[in-house]
Amino acid sequence: MLTNKTIAFIGGGNMAQALLKGLLDFGVVANKIKICEPNSQKQSQLSQQYGVTVSANSAAVVTGADVVLLAVKPGIVPLVLQEIASLLDKETLVISIAAGVSMAAMAQNLSSGQPIVRVMPNTPALIGAGVSVIFAKQDLPKPKLELARQIMSAVGDVDEVVDEGLLDGVTALSGSGPAYIYMVAEALSDGGVSCGLPRPLADKLAVKTLIGAARLIDESGEHPAVLKNQVTSPGGTTIAAVAQLERSGLRSALIDGVNAAWQRSVELSKK
């Protein structure tokens, strides 16, 4: 189903390229994908690197597309929709990955009945390890929802919420989350260097530890607290670190970080 659909991206930046690469790796052929991107440097990079058609003209890109994927900054979404609304077939599925642009705000700028889906992905989609959460109205035809699922499944795990308001929490946790983990990786490596490890070794140990621990949570199905207890022997080194991390507020720092992102997402949704 997915491989015979034509997909038009509006915006060819970071997230669009993560999704694009995932779709090509999945088996969607390059001549089924078109991208509208105004930046001439990005235009050449996109066509050279991925072999897809790139244009600055949105009409040339969206006309005849089965799916239009909006991958521009949230503030530009209404302008883009006003520009393309009359060019879309009534069956064209519009997927937006823009944070904080509500379904109602999009519908205002589209023909009535245009199928719309909101998705919050994250950048590990670039290596097929993303996680996306979909929101669609209950009256969206099932094949359209399935198509959105297939597109996002090409680049990682997919979940769905039935309450649009939850997308702000998703943005705060998994959408913005990779940045938090990069900070953790950097800090762990700094910790290793402060203990005398050479930087390349510390960098490697930090990232491999994060990957290994994350895979163990995922694949064992155990709660993280159980796995933590398994590595904290009485009077040992790990419990000494755990106690210090609690005193330094590691958990509350992460909870507060996610909460700050959530508040910002809610604020943007109201604009």
**Binding interface with ligand NAP (CB under 6 A):** 10-16, 36-39, 42, 71-74, 76, 80, 97-99, 120-123, 175
Which residue lies nearest ligand NAP, judged by its C-beta?
A: 13
CA atoms in the 13 A half-sphere facing the CB of 235:
0
Strands (E), 29-181: 33-36, 53-55, 67-70, 93-96, 116-120, 130-135, 156-161
d(CA 63, CA 257): 42
Q: Are 147 and 6 in contact (CB under 8 A)?
A: no
Q: Nearer Cβ to ligand NAP, position 99 or 136?
A: 99
Residue keyed to tokens 């943007």: 268
Q: Nearer Cβ to ligand NAP, position 16 or 136?
A: 16
Q: Nearer Cβ to ligand NAP, position 6 or 122?
A: 122
Rounded to a whole number of angstroms, the minimum distance from the CB of residue 196 to ligand NAP is 35
Rounded to a whole number of angstroms, the minimum distance from the CB of residue 63 to ligand NAP is 15
d(CA 193, CA 191): 5
Rounded to a whole number of angstroms, the minimum distance from the CB of residue 179 to ligand NAP is 8
Q: Nearer Cβ to ligand NAP, position 10 or 134?
A: 10
Rounded to a whole number of angstroms, the minimum distance from the CB of residue 198 to ligand NAP is 31
